[in-house]
Chain A
Amino acid sequence: MNRNALLFGGVALLYILTGFMQSWNTALAIFNMGLISAVMALGVNIQWGYAGLFNVGIMGFVALGGLATVLVAMPPIPEAWAAGGLRIYAALLLGAGTIGAAIVTYRRMSAGKIRALAVLAIFVVGYILYRGMFDPARDAIEAVNPALTGYLGGAGLPILLAWPAGGLLAAGAAWLIGKTALGLRSDYLAIATLGIAEIIIAVMKNEDWLGRGVKNVVGLPRPVPYEVDLQESASFVENAAWLGLDPATASTIWVKLLYGCLFAIVLLLLIWLTQMALNSPWGRMMRAIRDNETAAEAMGKDVTRRHLQIFIIGSAICGMAGAMITTLDGQLTPGTYQPLRFTFLIWVMVIVGGSGNNWGSVLGGFLIWWLWIQVEPIGGAIMNVITLPLPDGSGLKNHLLDSVQHIRLLTMGVVLLLVLRFSPRGLIPEK
């Protein structure tokens, strides 16, 4: 335990040093994303550490969480709903009904050419009907004031509700993907999740009626006050002056602290829940399944069902974290979802921290996120020293200075490989 406290203390020191050497604003900004990273790492740790499921589609679930903030918190657009809101959801239901009918037909009829033809016919007819209903509705919605809205808007509810909603949305997607890919070989799940993440991003980029696509949704409501309002409030300015801070700095720090408190509440709640789960009979069963599936199955455990359950729970946590990120950003920008940043970085966090150990994942989240942010200035400084002998304005010097931002990827890869090789159980190993 002593060692763990030391590790956490070391990471805390990194953040405090950032506060003193750069600014407290930077330190708090990194810390807030560190809190969210820790939540994501917990979600991945549940899947990998408890059950040994290899999910490389975290980005997709995170993006779904982001979509949930728009669907929950933005005000609805009555004109767009009048233009085609019900029609478009009816079309989607029809599409889902087609797939359902095809599955039922496939299960009910006996194998043979007739069954294949019947299933094919259902798909063709269903698809034509679906497009016939969907396309005009979509065009009608997207034609409503396209420069500002052009989408259905959301439900106009408080944005904090989007966090559980994001979890639910991600859980639904996880159920779909788990139903098909779980129970097959382990690397099939990896490839299936890789694919579903790309598709979720493609849908979010292209379905303008849903979340404005690459036109982005900006100005999401915030759960905390705006800096400008704080600076205008007399009591806040007074308090800031009493602390010896100018109102601008004080307001940004205050807002970040409020966000930090919200995220910390979620994180602490999740740590408590996951620790309870890990030490419960359910957690022991999960680890038994992970360590020896055949033996667990022989003991009467339904391995595929348990895997599905844990896959959904882990993905839901990632979806919730995604909603938290979008809330913090205040905007949904589907173009910024990159697998390296939202999937593989989280994996590095879990493995470096110690898979199978919740505290390890949290530590990994804070440490790796700090590193991810700080590698760039540190790398820039090193690169400046290296390129010192080169003349100013030379092509090579500019190229090397430009490439600093890509050194992050390299560093993360090297960190992952070194930890896998020399400390595969991570900084805080599983007990």
Chain B
Amino acid sequence: MDLLNAFVALLNFVIIPATAYGSQLALGALGVTLIYGILRFSNFAHGDTMAFGAMITILVTWMFQAIGISLGPLPTALLALPFGIAATAGMMLLTDRWVYRFYRAQKAKPIILVMASLGVMFVLNGIVRVIIGPGEQQFNDGARFIINARDFKEMTGLSEGLAFRSSQGITIVVTVIAVAALFWFLNRTRTGKSMRAYSDNEDLALLSGINPEKVVRVTWILAAILATTAGVLYGLDKAFKPFTYFQLLLPIFASAIVGGLGNPLGAIAGGYIIAFSEVTLTYAWKKVLTHALPESMAPDGLVQLLSTDYKYAVSFTILVIVLIFKPYGLFRGKAV
């Protein structure tokens, strides 16, 4: 029985990866929830928007690497991120002008906008695959670890190693900064307040002289920032592959709905709830339990509740449970 080793193993295999993954989901869900709050439709193109932003960032990263610019221990992708954001924001403003604005002016049903977003998803998916190909891309350079498993063992004398990858650290730090900046923007600035007003009551906001087109533009730009950041962080942490980003749509939507669609705070909470459930249910607990329990009770099997192939089933099950018991999410969202 060795509780300290058990805790280190838990930290290493569950808490740190789930926090990093949860941060990526939270950023993605924030984008979905903002678009839902302001534009009032579920944007199915969000996963592919993340892929698009990440792709531009990767291309710029490769360019920087080719001319020898780097950030030392930090990945070059962070330097390329603003370029990715700018390109994605431009792309989203263009899609708004060419696609969504028409339906907004018509006051079309939300489901029509969802369909239009499906079309945008197809196009983005095609563009990404044509430019960078459907394969997997690694673009993480700089230091690999903040804490290395071997160094940690030597330092503490524990039998369990603790590896804290720099991509995980960066994900957490960037998420904290992004979320803080977003909430400051929504709560303190004039534009942010007008966005919240527009989201709460469109007619009243229009009567108060808020320019709806400006609110919509700012929303797309914010969504582009969040989506690109989420996409790049996910790519740094795991790897970039267009199809994976499409599949992320389900956990991202689950996060946004669990927290209550249209509620930014809920999106963040939802992201971590989904990530922690996914990791804890698909993690093989044998190692932790072997350390934590007396030797006679040590488990024989892997003690894995679900195979990792079923991780999407976890987000789905949570989604269904929340929909049955709390249809508007844990934090009250809005309904169209």
Measured CB to CB, the residues of A under 8 A from B are 52, 54, 56, 127, 180-181, 184-188, 190-192, 194-196, 198-199, 202-203, 205-206, 339-340, 344, 347, 351, 399, 402-403, 406-414, 416-417, 420-421, 424
Contact = CB atoms under 8 A, between A and B. Distances in A.
A185 B127 contact: no
A199 B125 contact: no
The dominant DSSP class at the B interface is helix
A191 B134 contact: no
Interface stretch (B208-216, B219-227, B315-323): B315-323
Instruction: Give 5 nearest A-B pairs by CB, closest first.
Output: A413-B122, A410-B126, A409-B126, A413-B123, A406-B129
Contacts of B127: 410
Interface string B255-285: 0010000000000000000000000000000
A95 B29 CA distance: 33
22 contacts: A127-B305, A180-B324, A181-B320, A186-B111, A187-B42, A187-B111, A188-B257, A191-B253, A191-B257, A198-B250, A198-B312, A199-B310, A199-B312, A203-B310, A339-B246, A340-B122, A344-B118, A410-B126, A413-B121, A416-B115, A420-B115, A424-B112
A19 to B, nearest CB: 29
Contacts of A198: 247, 250, 312, 316
Contacts of B310: 199, 202-203, 206
A413 B307 contact: no
Contacts of A420: 112, 115-116, 119
Given A186-B111, A339-B246, A406-B130, A416 B119 contact: yes
B42 A191 contact: yes
Interface in B290-315: 305, 307, 309-310, 312-313, 315
B323 A181 contact: yes
A409 B129 contact: yes
B122 A412 contact: yes
A403 B130 contact: yes
Nearest to A187: B42
A344 B115 CA distance: 10
Contacts of B86: none
Contacts of B131: 403
Contacts of B307: 206
A271 to B, nearest CB: 25
Interface of B: 41-42, 44, 99, 102, 110-112, 114-116, 118-127, 129-131, 133-134, 246-247, 249-250, 253-254, 257, 305, 307, 309-310, 312-313, 315-316, 319-320, 323-324, 327, 335-336
A417 B116 contact: yes
A399 B131 CA distance: 8
Contacts of A409: 122-123, 125-126, 129
Contact of B250 (A186, A191, A203, A407): A191
Contacts of A203: 310
A54 B114 contact: yes
Contacts of B313: 199, 202
Contact of B316 (A56, A195, A340, A351): A195
A421 B102 contact: yes
B106 to A, nearest CB: 10
Contact of A403 (B114, B123, B133, B246): B133
Contact of B123 (A185, A186, A188, A414): A414
Given A407-B130, A413-B126, A416-B122, 15 more contacts: A180-B323, A180-B324, A187-B111, A191-B253, A192-B319, A192-B320, A195-B319, A199-B310, A206-B307, A347-B115, A406-B130, A406-B134, A410-B127, A417-B99, A420-B112
A54 B120 CA distance: 17
A417 B120 CA distance: 8
B123 A410 contact: yes
A205 B308 CA distance: 12
Given A195-B315, A407-B126, A54 B324 contact: no
A160 to B, nearest CB: 33
Contacts of A399: 133
A186 B124 CA distance: 24
A180 to B, nearest CB: 5
A107 B30 CA distance: 35
A187 B118 CA distance: 13
B121 to A, nearest CB: 7
B114 A187 contact: yes
A126 to B, nearest CB: 13
A131 to B, nearest CB: 9
Contacts of B335: 185
